[in-house]
Amino acid sequence: MKILGLSGSLRQSSSNMAALRAIEKLTPKNIDFKISIHIDQLPHFNPDLDKEDVLPSNVKIWRKELAEANGYYISCPEYAHGVPGVFKNALDWVVSSGELMNKPIAFLNASPIVKASLSKTLTVMSARIIETASVDIQFLRNKVDKEGNLHVEEEISHALETSLQVMIREIHGK
Ligand SMILES: Cc1cc2nc3c(=O)[nH]c(=O)nc-3n(C[C@H](O)[C@H](O)[C@H](O)COP(=O)(O)O)c2cc1C
């Protein structure tokens, strides 16, 4: 079973990356949890290039990585009251190919604006948003130390563990 973490921030010491690493640490050993490093390697989406014979190689890698995952965690900041362009761009590349179809997705740290926007985009792509696996980490940025480790209250730690259990059940279709 594979779970893929997707960060909407490319920042070196990103708090959203830290949130994904925190859930990665809690993931049971028999599950392969990976954080994608391909989002910033993607070209700008262009429908002219969204064709088998001209599809950019980094898009093929991105699609394969998504296709191989059974479920996803998205941790995404808000930029100017919207989804960061780089993240929307990455999603635009899989609208036609459908790697996210019927797959469970949970949000970590999405603001109401980002959550609403991404939910619409992902629902159009037939992904399954799992509200009960989503965890809202308030003031996330203040909870990351200089080494990029997330320090959260017991309650949030517990919520992340519960989230993983829900995600695993969703992947199994229960
Ligand atoms: C260009 C830019 C625009 C931002 N716009 C908003 C915003 O509209 N609303 C908000 O709450 N935070 C906004 N922020 C703050 C980010 O969401 C915040 O810094 C977040 O921690 C970034 O995530 P990261 O730590 O993973 O990089 C903005 C930050 C940047 C760099």
- Please state the domain extents for the chain: 2-171
Residues with Cβ < 8 Å from 61, sequence gap 6 or more?
38, 41
pLDDT at residue 34 above 90? yes
How much distance in Å is there from the Cα of 90 to the middle of ligand 1?
Answer: 18
How much distance in Å is there from the Cα of 167 to the middle of ligand 1?
Answer: 27
Q: Which atom of ligand 1 is nearest to the CA of 140?
A: 21
Average pLDDT score, the chain: 96
pLDDT at residue 70 above 90? yes
User: Which pLDDT belongs to residue 130?
Assistant: 98
Pairing relation of β-strands 128-129 and 104-108? parallel
- Greater pLDDT, 148 or 170: 170
How much distance in Å is there from the Cα of 77 to the middle of ligand 1?
Answer: 6
Residue with CA closest to ligand 1 atom 20: 77
pLDDT at residue 174 above 80? no
Strands (E), the chain: 2-7, 32-35, 71-75, 104-108, 128-129
User: Which pLDDT belongs to residue 110?
Assistant: 79
User: Which pLDDT belongs to residue 26?
Assistant: 95
Q: What is the pLDDT of residues 86-124, one digit of tens each?
A: 999 999 999 999 999 999 999 998 799 999 999 999 999
Residues with Cβ < 8 Å from 24, sequence gap 6 or more?
5, 33, 35
Q: What percent of the chain has pLDDT over 90?
A: 94
User: Which pLDDT belongs to residue 107?
Assistant: 97
Is the pTM here over 0.95, yes or no?
yes
Q: Which CATH superfamily is domain 2-171 in?
A: Flavodoxin domain (3.40.50.360)
Per-residue pLDDT band at 133 (split at 50, 70, 90): very high
